[in-house]
């Protein structure tokens, strides 16, 4: 019995030493080695199937019984938390505080950014059929006629500057042409023109090395419309911008571009006078027979 | 009444058809409507051609009828037809017409300016002479002669101003008037 107890204790001691991380000194070295050994052993050791086979494809136990037998209630693993933490932090703003006018109003209100719909249709919108190749305007291909290159003299055909000869600078993102008089020559400012309503002549001004400021885009030239609809109808027509107001920025940009171009125009004899003149048809002049 | 005749060796100008604008020599007459024609120096192969598309020029070459191309070429080069042709008014008119058709918008502007300047000069001189005439009054013969002499000067003055080549050509035509 004594003899039996001793060996029992030892294996008894060894077993908890195995399972625990090893608190005792003589046991420390061993469990480290054993832990290393255990990892290797755990990787290899898979339990045989706890679900005996009754016939091919049919196990003895059901899904829920197997859950219990495999002790999955103890084995719940979660993915590393860092990504979830990040996503949790990055929640989009739900409300925004906006200033409110009027005295004794409290100065600001907390307003929802994404509001509940104010209308639910009684019938749902039917599913649209598939279509392909219908692109929005911003994705359209912009083309430019081969006869129009930077520095070409164009003849404007429409608009308040019709008939005027003008220097082409570049094509903008929407496909419209950026064009300038220059202002000192024929009073045409930096302006957009439509390719279709323009005749390209074969006369070119050499624009190598001319730098056009990058902030001249479509949004710079777009017409600005103020709209604050108030209930008084008579005043609406006055507040809209009928008159175009020159801004200082336009003047600065005009000067920056024109100074470069005027220098090159002066080099070509008679070109300045040509740009000052306007184009017109007279008797016996047929556009289809003219070489531009 | 008629000065230019269809004969062997007559140089003709082709007015329409695939060889429009070229010179040929009549080598032989086939029938009432067609001739055997050859233009060795103008790139026209020996072929039959209807008289309708030919316009007779003043030049006649000397070679026997149905002479071979070599003979025609020799005669052509001996007479130096190409040079003589380009010196005629006919050829110059054609050239001027072509240049006018090729004028670009900028060229048209330059021509307009040149014409304007020329006309101003002419008018100015005219007015001067008219003033002279009105002062002297009773001698109509002199001022007329003076005017004609003055007109002769103008076409020489104006071309000196800045112009493209094409301008003098229409100018020359106008001066003839």
**List of residues 6+ apart from A17 with CB closer than 8 A:** A24, A27, A30, A31, A34
The domain limits of chain A are: 137-222+247-279
Mean residue pLDDT of chain A comes to 83
Count how many Cα atoms sit within 13 Å of the Cα of residue A123 in the half-sphere of its side chain: 3
Binding-site residues on chain A for chain B (CB distance < 8 A)? 153, 155, 165, 201-203, 269-271, 273-274, 277, 279, 289-292
Chain B residue with minimal CA distance to A155? Answer: B105
CATH architecture of A137-222+247-279: Roll (2.30)
3-state secondary structure of A164: strand
Mean pLDDT computed over A129-156: 94
pLDDT of residue B174: 41
SS3 track for A92-161: CCCEEEEECCCCCCCCEEEEECCCCCCCCCCCCCCCCCCCCCCCCHHHCCCCCCCCCCCCEEEEECCCCC
Which candidate from A165, A271, A291 shows the least CB-CB separation from B101? A291
Are A279 and B105 a contacting pair at CB < 8 A?
A: yes
Q: How far apart are the CA of B125 and the nearest CA of chain A, in angstroms? A: 26
Chain B residue with minimal CA distance to A273? Answer: B109
Q: How far apart are the CA of B98 and the nearest CA of chain A, in angstroms? A: 12
Backbone CA torsion sign across B34, B35, B36, B38: negative
Beta-sheet pairing, A152-156 with A165-171: antiparallel
Mean pLDDT computed over A159-169: 95
Share of chain A above pLDDT 90, in %: 57
**In this predicted model, which residue has the larger pLDDT, A42 or A186?**
A186
**C-alpha dist (Å) from residue A29 to A7, A9, A87:** 21, 19, 43
pLDDT of residue A7: 45
Task: Using 70 as the pLDDT threshold, list the residues of chain B that sit under it.
Answer: 138-177
Q: How far apart are the CA of B43 and the nearest CA of chain A, in angstroms? A: 28
What residues are paired with A152 via a beta bridge? A204
* Tokens standing for residue B79: 């007479």
Q: How far apart are the CA of A239 and the nearest CA of chain B, in angstroms? A: 45
- pTM, 2 dp: 0.64
Chain B residue with minimal CA distance to A203? Answer: B106
Going by the DSSP 8-state scheme, the letter that residue B77 receives in this structure is H
Q: How confident is the model at residue A106 (pLDDT cuts 50, 70, 90)?
A: confident
Does A13 have pLDDT greater than 70?
A: no
């Amino acid at each position: 019995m004594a003899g039996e107890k001793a060996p029992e204790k030892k294996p008894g001691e060894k077993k908890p030493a195995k399972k625990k991380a090893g608190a005792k000194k003589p046991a420390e070295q061993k469990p480290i080695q054993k832990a290393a050994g255990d990892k290797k052993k755990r990787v290899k050791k898979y339990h045989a199937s706890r679900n005996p086979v009754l016939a091919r494809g049919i196990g003895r136990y059901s899904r829920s019984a197997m859950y219990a037998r495999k002790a999955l209630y103890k084995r719940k693993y979660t993915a590393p938390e860092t990504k979830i933490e990040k996503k949790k932090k990055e929640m989009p703003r739900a409300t925004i505080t906006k200033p409110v006018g009027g005295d004794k109003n409290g100065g600001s209100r907390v307003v929802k950014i994404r509001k509940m719909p104010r209308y639910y249709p009684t019938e749902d919108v039917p599913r649209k059929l598939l279509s392909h190749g219908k692109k929005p305007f911003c994705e359209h291909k912009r083309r430019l006629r081969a006869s129009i290159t930077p520095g070409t003299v164009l003849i404007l055909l429409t608009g308040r500057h019709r008939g005027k000869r003008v220097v082409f600078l570049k094509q903008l993102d929407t496909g419209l042409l950026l064009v300038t008089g220059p202002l000192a020559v024929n009073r045409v400012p930096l302006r957009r023109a439509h390719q279709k309503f323009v005749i390209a002549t074969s006369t070119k001004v050499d624009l190598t090395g001319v730098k056009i400021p990058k902030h001249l885009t479509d949004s710079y030239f777009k017409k600005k419309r103020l709209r604050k609809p108030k209930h008084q109808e008579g005043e609406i027509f006055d507040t809209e911008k009928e008159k175009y107001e020159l801004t200082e920025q336009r003047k600065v940009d005009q000067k920056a571009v024109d100074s470069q171009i005027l220098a090159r125009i002066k080099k070509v004899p008679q070109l300045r006078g040509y740009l000052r003149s306007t184009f017109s048809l007279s008797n016996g002049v047929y556009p289809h027979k003219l070489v531009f | 009444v008629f000065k230019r005749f269809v004969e062997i060796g007559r140089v003709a100008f082709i007015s329409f058809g695939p060889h429009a604008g070229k010179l040929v020599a009549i080598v032989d007459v086939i029938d009432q409507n067609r001739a055997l024609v050859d233009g060795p120096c103008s790139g026209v192969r020996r072929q039959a051609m209807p008289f309708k598309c030919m316009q007779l020029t003043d030049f006649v070459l000397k070679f026997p009828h149905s002479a071979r191309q070599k003979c025609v070429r020799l005669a052509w080069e001996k007479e130096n037809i190409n040079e003589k042709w380009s010196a005629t008014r006919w050829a110059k008119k054609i050239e001027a017409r072509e240049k006018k058709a090729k004028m670009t918008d900028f060229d048209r502007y330059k021509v307009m300016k040149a014409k304007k300047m020329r006309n101003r000069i002419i008018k100015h001189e005219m007015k001067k002479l008219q003033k002279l005439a009105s002062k002297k009054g009773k001698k109509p013969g002199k001022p007329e002669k003076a005017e004609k002499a003055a007109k002769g000067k103008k076409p020489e003055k104006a071309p000196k101003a800045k112009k493209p080549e094409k301008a003098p050509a229409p100018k020359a035509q106008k001066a003839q008037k």
